[in-house]
Amino acid sequence: MIETGSVRLFVAVWPSAEVISTLANLPRSSGPHIRWTTPEQWHVTLYFLGDLSSYAAGVATRRFFSIEREIVKNSLLPTTAQVGPVTGCFGNSILFVPVEGLDTLAVTVNRTFKQRASSRTSRGRKTNPDEGGRGKDNEVGNNRPRDCESKEKHFVGHITLARGRGTKTNLTYLAGRPVTARWGVDTLTLVESTLSQRGALYKILGEIPLRSS
């Protein structure tokens, strides 16, 4: 039977209430040219799986939970994510704040999906910059963290703060604003994304705790 539906999945971590408060207090401009994301949408993508068939989504979910074995094997403890030091822009139309400190966790997630990929199961479409994808090929286990360098030595994630409306929108005047915060990352999540007129809506499908003992 041919799969006609698809589900968009990614692996992410979520900022603490204190970090959310810091980001919410950043100066904002208003107008029809800009759409600000909401606190409920703020996350850091570690691995973007893409648009998957129901079967491929089931495979991806099983692989996600297998990450827990790698976390235990490598004794990965809760880690500290560092936000800032300034806002930036992807191109002219996506305002973000960088997040560092997630290198080991991001690479562990990436390698787990890569190592367990045995066949191509689903073709993906052009991806959403919010969710970390770069290319067209978003098959299960055939992707990598958006901001992870080719040698997988350093990963810099991001939280998207705003998007420009229209192709001529330029948000670079909002880049360079100072912002610093940090939080203890103790949970890894598998997330389903649904696009709506209000932007992306997220549903957590699974969680893996990072245990300190």
Q: Domain residues of the chain, as ranges? A: 7-209
User: How do residues 189-198 score in pLDDT, each as one tens digit?
Assistant: 999 999 887 7
pTM: 0.81
DSSP the chain: ------EEEEEEE---HHHHHHHHTS----STTEEE--GGG--EEEEEEEEE-HHHHHHHHHHHHHHHHHHHHTTPPPEEEEE-SB-EEETTTEEEEEEES-HHHHHHHHHHHHHT--S------SPPGGGT--SS---TT----TTB-TTSS-B-EEEEEEEESSTT---GGGTT-B--EEEEE-EEEEEEEEEETTEEEEEEEEEEE----
The answer to whether domain 7-209 has CATH 3.40.50.300 is no
Does residue 138 have a pLDDT over 80? no
Q: How confident is the model at residue 38 (pLDDT cuts 50, 70, 90)?
A: very high
pLDDT tens digits, 146-162: 443 334 557 989 999 99
